[in-house]
Amino acid sequence: MSQLFRRKNYSETDTSTHLLRVLGVWDIVFFGIAAIIGAGSFSSLGEAVFRGGPGVILLYMICGFACGFTALCYAEFASRIPAAGSAYTYAYASFGELIAWVIGWALIMEYSFGNIYVAFSWSDYFTSFLGRLGMHIPDYLTCSYTEAKKAFMSGSENRELINAWKTAPLMGSLKFIVDIPALVINGLITWLCYIGVKESKNFNNSLVILKLAVIILVILIGFSYINTDNWTPVSVETGIPSFMPNGFAGVMSAVSGVFFAYIGFDALSVLSEETKDPQKTLPKGMIISLVLCTVIYIALTLVLTGMVDYRKFDGVGDPLSFIFEKSNANVAWMELTVSFVAIVAITTVLLVFQMGQPRIWYAMSRDGLMPQKFQEVHPKYKTPAFATIITGVVVGLPILFTDKSFILDFTSIGTIFAFVLVCAGVLLLPAKEKIKGRFHLPYINGKIIFPIIFIGGLVAFYFWEPSFFQNLMEWNDPKEGEFRASIFFFILINLAICILAFIKNLSLIPLIGLSSCLYLLTGMSHENWFWFGIWFSIGLVIYFSYGYRNSKLSKS
């Protein structure tokens, strides 16, 4: 049993690599922008605005705040352990082998499953763009079977999905419904990742520049069409103008869509072994990209909720082009431009995520927890070739039978869980000698400060929303009840953390990151936790049947 929690000492491990070190600070920043500004802004932002109203901007700030402190924790790990593997590698150094495996398994949700959602979003924008040019792909070739069937059975108002179900040809007794554009882009991105990180870097940087230019254009033009009354719509429940018309629970219900926008910065730490001077370069790149992207998301949310009433975003999968449609701002050239650039933006997200997953498997294989084939490096391209191909297959197959909403929630809960363990892992690291030129996480004793911040925050929130605390133990209402129950357990866990912080003199920055990420988990439904539990159980079966027996730590 001691092997389960045996830590890997990377200071004594050879972290030399067969991969090419070609990435500098601004390459890392551009990869970060590529991953963070993509499907989150061009697709899931619409659903988030509909759920939370203008108040969803608070959720972007909360997520940015949580990810900012988490990024500092990632940066601390990256400065100590310049090896591929991201949170998996960091967990191996701080928690031990079993938790490292759990994190590695959770990261499959972040990268592979996340890219399924991104591929679906790319397909939506691609077919929408072709439609605006007068070209039409049959509806049954632009969506998944599950999505079309669910829409038909539930009486959805989505005409494309209903038409796909009704017009799809039969193959025996089964309707032929396949998202061809999603499958094609997955294949092309897999090929690009296979041929080399240098080629991927150059392709990515050029696309990011174009994407940023158009997003800035959207913000500048959009501000001239803002109606400030849209920022305080009338609440359906109270009849009073409110920044949060669906209440704070409504804002938190959008956490999957909002947090999905931020998960890309984790992919940067996977590129450690392809980064020049990673102890210095990675921390800078992470923090710069996160700050820039948070500012962009806040500006975009202000524009969207100011230009169009939040209720109009129901079911809108292309929100940035939607605001310029004839029924809204009526700027036809912007509508077409944004539709095209969205394809570019989402392509860069696919690229970064598809680069991330093979390097997780590469690191796990090197430790003996995955078959040796996954650490195979292509002799010419110097990429983890076999792992890259398998990633393409893992992303491609579920495109045939799953749907976007399930994948979005599934990806977000796994990623937040990984972030929680990264922040907690920093608290377990021993003190280190400061080396000039490397990143060092500042130590601020959280013994007194963290309890004051947490308890003071509870008191402030009580005076702001006293009714919420008065009804905290009422869990009967499906929507409000789940959120209140989650908040109740969140408070209990954080009170325990306050006690530990006082006893152990824990560092303030990772404490705030840990608490913030735990708070984001309160927005997840019981159904999300159920499916995460099943995925977690499957991972444990694989670990004990293969990883535990073949671990290199057990043989050392």
Lowest mean pLDDT among 106-115, 190-199, 437-446: 190-199
Residue of 85, 116, 16, 7 whose CA lies nearest to 370: 85
| pLDDT exceeds 70 at position 365 | yes
DSSP output for 66-124: HHHHHHHHHHHHHHH--SS-HHHHHHHHHT-HHHHHHHHHHHHIIIIIHHHHHHHHHHH
pLDDT tier for residue 506 given thresholds of 50, 70 and 90: very high
pLDDT tier for residue 501 given thresholds of 50, 70 and 90: very high
**What is the tens place of the pLDDT at every residue in 375-408?**
888 888 778 889 889 989 988 888 888 877 778 7
Distance CA 264, CA 100 (A): 20
- Going from N- to C-terminal start, the domains of the chain cover 21-138+179-236+244-430, 145-177
Q: Pick the more confident residue, 436 or 220.
A: 220
| pLDDT exceeds 60 at position 16 | no
**What is the tens place of the pLDDT at every residue in 301-340?**
899 999 999 888 876 767 888 899 888 888 888 988 888 8
Phi/psi of residue 133, nearest 5 degrees: -90, 0
| pLDDT exceeds 90 at position 495 | yes
Say what the pLDDT of residue 473 is. 63
Phi/psi of residue 384, nearest 5 degrees: -70, 85
Q: Are 367 and 101 in contact (CB under 8 A)?
A: no
Q: Are 367 and 546 in contact (CB under 8 A)?
A: no
Say what the pLDDT of residue 541 is. 92
| pLDDT exceeds 80 at position 191 | yes
Residue of 520, 37, 462 whose CA lies nearest to 251: 520
DSSP output for 238-303: T-SB-SSTTHHHHHHTTHHHHHHTTGGGHHHHHTGGGBSSHHHHHHHHHHHHHHHHHHHHHHHHHH
Q: Are 412 and 527 in contact (CB under 8 A)?
A: no
Tokens of 201: 């870097």
Q: What is the mean pLDDT of the chain?
A: 81
Its pTM surpasses 0.85: no
Say what the pLDDT of residue 241 is. 85
DSSP output for 490-532: HHHHHHHHHHHHHHHT-BHHHHHHHHHHHHHGGGS-HHHHHHH
Nearest 5°: CA angle at 74, between 539 and 48?
Answer: 75
The burial of 239, by beta-carbon neighbours within 10 Å (0-12 exposed, 13-18 middle, 19 or more buried), is given as exposed
Lowest mean pLDDT among 89-98, 127-136, 208-217, 334-343: 89-98
Which amino acid is present at 381? Y
Q: Count the alpha carbons within 13 Å of 420 in the hemisphere toward its beta carbon.
A: 20
Phi/psi of residue 46, nearest 5 degrees: -65, -45
- Which run of H or of E encompasses 171? strand 170-171
| pLDDT exceeds 60 at position 18 | no
Which residue's structure tokens are 């082009």?
Answer: 321
Distance CA 553, CA 532 (A): 28
Cα 168 from chain centroid (whole Å): 33
Q: CA of 547: how far to CAs of 377, 482, 542, in Å?
A: 21, 36, 7
Say what the pLDDT of residue 410 is. 77
| 3-class secondary structure, 23 | strand
Tokens of 322: 């939607």
Q: Which fold has domain 21-138+179-236+244-430?
A: Amino acid/polyamine transporter I (1.20.1740)
Q: What is the mean pLDDT of residues 370-379?
A: 87
Q: What is the mean pLDDT of residues 213-233?
A: 90
Residue of 488, 157, 507, 499 whose CA lies nearest to 314: 157
Q: Are 140 and 167 in contact (CB under 8 A)?
A: yes
Q: What is the mean pLDDT of residues 517-541?
A: 85
Q: Pick the more confident residue, 157 or 76.
A: 76
Distance CA 71, CA 64 (A): 10
Backbone conformation region of residue 19, classed left if phi is above 0, alpha if psi is from -120 to 50, else beta: beta
pLDDT tier for residue 13 given thresholds of 50, 70 and 90: very low
Say what the pLDDT of residue 14 is. 44
Which amino acid is present at 121? S
| pLDDT exceeds 70 at position 273 | no
Tokens of 452: 């004051």
**What is the tens place of the pLDDT at every residue in 252-267?**
777 777 777 777 667 6
Q: CA of 7: how far to CAs of 29, 94, 420, 535, in Å?
A: 31, 6, 18, 24
pLDDT tier for residue 40 given thresholds of 50, 70 and 90: low
Q: At what angle do helices 180-195 and 332-366 cross, to 10 degrees?
A: 50
| 3-class secondary structure, 424 | helix
